[in-house]
Structure 1
Amino acid sequence: MTGLSGSGKSTAGRLLAQRLGRPLFDIDVLIEQHYGERIPTIFAHHGEEYFRDLESRILERTIQQTDSAIIVTGGGIVIRSENRQLMATHGVRIYMQVDPQISLERLRAQIASEEQQGKRPELRPMLAGPDPLANLLTMQATRESWYQEAEYLCVTNGRPVEHVVQEIIDMIEPTRNENEHAASLIGTPELSEPSTSDPVIPPIIRHVHIGDGYDTIVEWGGLSHIAEHLQRLSLPPRVFLITDSNIHDFYAPMLVARLRAAQFEPHVYTIPAGEASKSQRQLNAIYDWLVDQHAERREALIALGGGVVGDLVGFAAATYLRGVPLIQIPTSLLAQVDSAIGGKTGINHAKGKNLIGAFYHPRLVLADPLVLLSLQTRSRTEGWAEIVKYGIILDAELFALLEAHAEALREFSPASKALFCQIIARCIDLKVTIIEEDEREQGRRAILNYGHTAGHALENASGYGEWLHGEAVSLGMVVAARLAQKAGLYASEDVERQNNLLTALGLPTTYHGTVSAQDILSRMQLDKKVVGKRVHWIMPERIGQVRSMTLPDELVTQVVTEFFGAEEDHSHA
């Protein structure tokens, strides 16, 4: 992969490697690892000629020692003819073409992100002068003919990374049987049909009738239409985009470019990825940033990320200036079908999950299933737990649909995008129907916590690091189903169907961990569904129907102890 700095090579390369199951080698990263210094420092101390020698050696060594890989190169690697010859002989070249202005915006956004994360960014050589745009324009003019030698060209300007990667796959796919280099690059698995022949999936909109009302939109590729969606809300031009360190590089530069093109003024703040960020400390950091930016009451916060980002930013929106507009853009499957829907926001406490928070509804929820392609398999898989939950508590037909298509759903191929949109939209509709009836969880909304009593206790007891939320909920549903079966409520056939479906979707159904049953039992007493010191369990009666009830302490202790066992040292995949 070749092209100017800021063309998106590294971000697209990571996703392309994931999609094709191939290793990724980034020449700039390898150089820094080899030398122990950042590239700007190498330039400053030794000059460009020394750096180009080092770059050529690393490229040659990588090609010689690597097979069937994705190689991301630096912007200037095409300067030397021997490098161009080496790449032409040993692989398929893809030129990632970008407008220099967009390249500059991406590079500046990367620097800002590093600063927010407490790093000390070093200016790349092309940004160090008084006119970095002129430097990039000169570089492009000088190198364009060399870049154009590539077998394929992909224009990346302001496009979602998933679109870029799918275009690359579509381009190289037809050459598989004709060119051995392409065959070694993309391997043997069949991929989806080229996007040009894919059917257009219209947006699925569910209006939420709470307060002033707002829309939830499920739209494949909808992230690229974010500016049009925000314009319909008549928001002030300044918006505050908050994302995490995993998501930032994939989407923030594209969103910023789209918003600026529509005359919005986006400001970006990046939090560390992970459940640990759902804390008072990180909330205070967001408050400090908003105060420093002089954010005003009518200016919106945009939560771009999974459940952690949505919950945290939602709570910040609910409390900063006593409430500012909130836009939810969930980027995980779990967030799209659950946490971004319904107005629950909050942070964790050391003694329990989601103990501090507020009900606060967004102005818009935009769920783009296309972004799920960029997730690691484990992160995407956990979301199926919440979807299975909907089937068990509310919708036997949805459960049957999941059973019928479990293999395709687990693979998550773009060829099944209509099915994904249908399932995500159905889950949103089910949840919205519940919250419209019981917004504040005083009654029926509690059934949405099926599997969460033991699941939340497990997450808390293991320090929010060992188990992803969906994995913990999956185990919690297994516990709840066992309790219901022993209480004479749930047929063994339905228990088996539930657990088989969880397994088919890649979710855990047996516990192998380090937390004791006693620890789980004690932490369940902090559950939000405790009333009069008694835990109210959501118990399935059949697929598609549940009820809330208390259970004898002896039964709970027996089942939890049997499932989680004594305190032993295990590990889980």
Structure 2
Amino acid sequence: MRHVFLIGLSGSGKSTVGRLLAQRLGRPLLDVDALIEQEYGERIPAIFARHGEEYFRTLEARMLAHAVQQPDDAIIVTGGGIVVRPENRTLMTLHGVRVFLQVDPRESLLRLQAQHLREQQHGQTLEIRPLLSGTDPLANLQRMLAAREAWYQEAELTCLTQGKSAEQVAGEIIAMLEDLDHTSQEQVAPIVRHVHVGAGYDTVVEWGGLQRLAFYLKQLQLPPRVFIITDSNIHDLYIPSLQSQLTAAGFEPLVYTVPAGEGSKSQQQLSAIYDWLLEQHAERREALVALGGGVVGDLVGYAAATYLRGVPLIQIPTSLLAQVDSAIGGKTGINHPRGKNLIGAFYHPRLVLADPATLLSLPERSRTEGWAEIVKYGIILDAELFALLEAHASTLRDFSRSPVALLCQIIARCIDLKVMIIEEDEREQGRRAILNYGHTFGHALENVSGYGEWLHGEAVSLGMVVAARLAHESGLFGEQDMRRQNQLLAALGLPTTYQGSVHARDILAAMQLDKKVVGKRVRWIMPRRIGEVTITPLPDELVERIVTAFMGEK
């Protein structure tokens, strides 16, 4: 890994994007202008006014040379004119990767004016570089861009920022950095697990595996047309490079994008996918590729199961939750207004390709929720996995140094655990139900609160807290093990206490629609000890008392 230098016009968002990149990648953040002001005790406009631009450029070059000596790989935010001096361009080339944040001068000016207004409202005075002042700042910006654009274009990476939020820009940059650096990452061999269900298929865990999708598709001997369905958060991160990769390998990728979020697991979006496939005259041997998190995987999986009574399905999960759980095992489906995942089918893919590098581009909350399903595996099946998570919780939570081998090992172990269960009980007639530990309360909470308020993993985390308390009150689960579970959930950044407006009575009613209800009684997954669970009904009075107390009601 190397320093990442953000370059571009004033108003391109370098400072804001730099902060987001530093947070998500766990890297130090260095702002060259801020370092100059700190070192010399004056604001940039004052330095310009008192000493002139040439003096400032000398300070800037000196500070950049100091910044690149930072021992840890940093996100380095530069001023718009850093590229003017050739020694600066050489330094950045030698010590890292330049990312050009490309913006139209009109958009740049609008952003600067909006910033000026915000600071005025907070009683601050916006300090604009002298070159941006005067009667026609837009003309100044346009002249600057014309003079510097050739140097900006030398950057290894270019990110268009027009009309995008800082979060979107940061996500795209992370994805581009993964693409650029995946060959130099810690080398971990792909971990392959064959699933002996139906015709059988492989699950592959490979860091950087998304860059080898064409290779895997060729192994399956699929027709050249592939129908990639993704969501609005994922599209800009991966589709452009995937289209280039697949086209170069002789495939013809066609792309459909659904809105991001749980709301897309609906009959409306399913029908829209059918319409698109029919418009494209998609044929029975041509594959659907589900590129995204659990929502995309479930939705596209159900479309593949039902379009022309079944077409090939490729699952490419890009969230931690999907990589360890929802993409494995053949469960597909959509939500019904009265319950989660009530409409669906068992339909196995031809391939599951899990690339843990894609997790680096996730917002922290979206990545964190996935740990709930991993803790679940430790509780229900694997005490050693649980202990491994306890030992590395801080590293795994903040992703400060992407733990490549450890992350691949954990994801592959979770896949192996789930595959062992589904090979024994494909259609959840028996033991497979243990995979729903924490989901009885979790699914009810998601439904009653309106899909989207709680992420699935967050709701499952709360559901595990409730289930552990029920098991403890029933005399099944020791207090020390219950405390260990809840402490690990919290250490990984997951919620363990409920804060919200949902009423216990609504949760209790929603749980009656749970798929594990038999004879109108909920079968609960109850832990006996870490690594072992049982399935049992519970007295209604106990469930009502524990759920009501957990919801903060009397």
TM-score for both structures, normalised by structure 2: 0.73
Is 1:202–2:207 an aligned residue pair?
no
Q: 1:96 to 1:226 in 2, by over 3 A?
A: same
Aligned with residue 464 of structure 1, among 445, 451, 458: 451
Root-mean-square deviation (CA, aligned residues, Å) is 3.5
Q: In the alignment, residue 234 of structure 1 is paired with which amino acid?
A: Q
Q: In the alignment, residue 165 of structure 1 is paired with which amino acid?
A: L
Name the counterpart of 1:401: 388
Between the aligned partners of 1:202 and 1:506, the Cα distance in structure 2 is 29
Between the aligned partners of 1:426 and 1:164, the Cα distance in structure 2 is 28
TM-superposed CA distance for 1:566, in Å, is 3.2
TM-superposed CA distance for 1:413, in Å, is 3.8
Between the aligned partners of 1:362 and 1:328, the Cα distance in structure 2 is 7
Is 1:291–2:278 an aligned residue pair?
yes
Count of paired positions: 444
Q: 1:87 to 1:357 in 2, by over 3 A?
A: farther
**Identity over aligned pairs, percent:** 69
Aligned with residue 536 of structure 1, among 498, 502, 523: 523
Alignment of 1:336-415 (within 5 A): 336-415=323-402
Between the aligned partners of 2:433 and 2:98, the Cα distance in structure 1 is 53
Name the counterpart of 2:461: 474
Maintained 8 Å contact 1:306/1:332? yes
Between the aligned partners of 2:265 and 2:364, the Cα distance in structure 1 is 23
Q: 1:95 to 1:436 in 2, by over 3 A?
A: same
Q: In the alignment, residue 289 of structure 1 is paired with which amino acid?
A: W
Alignment of 1:168-567 (within 5 A): 196=184, 198-566=185-553
TM-superposed CA distance for 1:416, in Å, is 1.4
Q: 1:69 to 1:415 in 2, by over 3 A?
A: closer
- State the Cα deviation string for residues 305-350 of structure 1 (Å, max 9, x = none): 0000000000000000100000000000000000000000000000
Q: 1:15 to 1:370 in 2, by over 3 A?
A: farther
Q: 1:494 to 1:268 in 2, by over 3 A?
A: same
Name the counterpart of 2:151: 146
Q: 1:451 to 1:144 in 2, by over 3 A?
A: same
Q: 1:531 to 1:300 in 2, by over 3 A?
A: same
TM-superposed CA distance for 1:199, in Å, is 3.4
TM-superposed CA distance for 1:473, in Å, is 0.2
Maintained 8 Å contact 2:26/2:399? no
Secondary structure at the aligned position of 1:536 is classed as strand
TM-superposed CA distance for 1:153, in Å, is 3.8
Between the aligned partners of 1:83 and 1:317, the Cα distance in structure 2 is 51
TM-superposed CA distance for 1:514, in Å, is 1.2
- State the Cα deviation string for residues 180-221 of structure 1 (Å, max 9, x = none): xxxxxxxxxxxxxx984x531000000000111100000011
Structure 2 unmatched runs, 5+: 1-5, 9-13, 32-59, 61-73, 101-146, 160-171
- State the Cα deviation string for residues 74-112 of structure 1 (Å, max 9, x = none): xxx9xxxx7954999899696559xxxxxxxxxxxxxxx
Q: In the alignment, residue 425 of structure 2 is paired with which amino acid?
A: D
Maintained 8 Å contact 1:303/1:327? yes
Q: 1:166 to 1:439 in 2, by over 3 A?
A: closer
TM-superposed CA distance for 1:144, in Å, is 8.2
Secondary structure at the aligned position of 1:267 is classed as strand
TM-score for both structures, normalised by structure 1: 0.71
TM-superposed CA distance for 1:393, in Å, is 0.3
Maintained 8 Å contact 1:161/1:251? no
Maintained 8 Å contact 2:27/2:75? no
Between the aligned partners of 2:187 and 2:75, the Cα distance in structure 1 is 32
TM-superposed CA distance for 1:147, in Å, is 3.9
Q: In the alignment, residue 146 of structure 1 is paired with which amino acid?
A: W
Secondary structure at the aligned position of 1:511 is classed as coil
Between the aligned partners of 2:281 and 2:398, the Cα distance in structure 1 is 45
Structure 1 unmatched runs, 5+: 4-8, 26-62, 98-141, 171-193, 568-573
- State the Cα deviation string for residues 13-45 of structure 1 (Å, max 9, x = none): 7974543679999xxxxxxxxxxxxxxxxxxxx
Between the aligned partners of 1:71 and 1:293, the Cα distance in structure 2 is 45
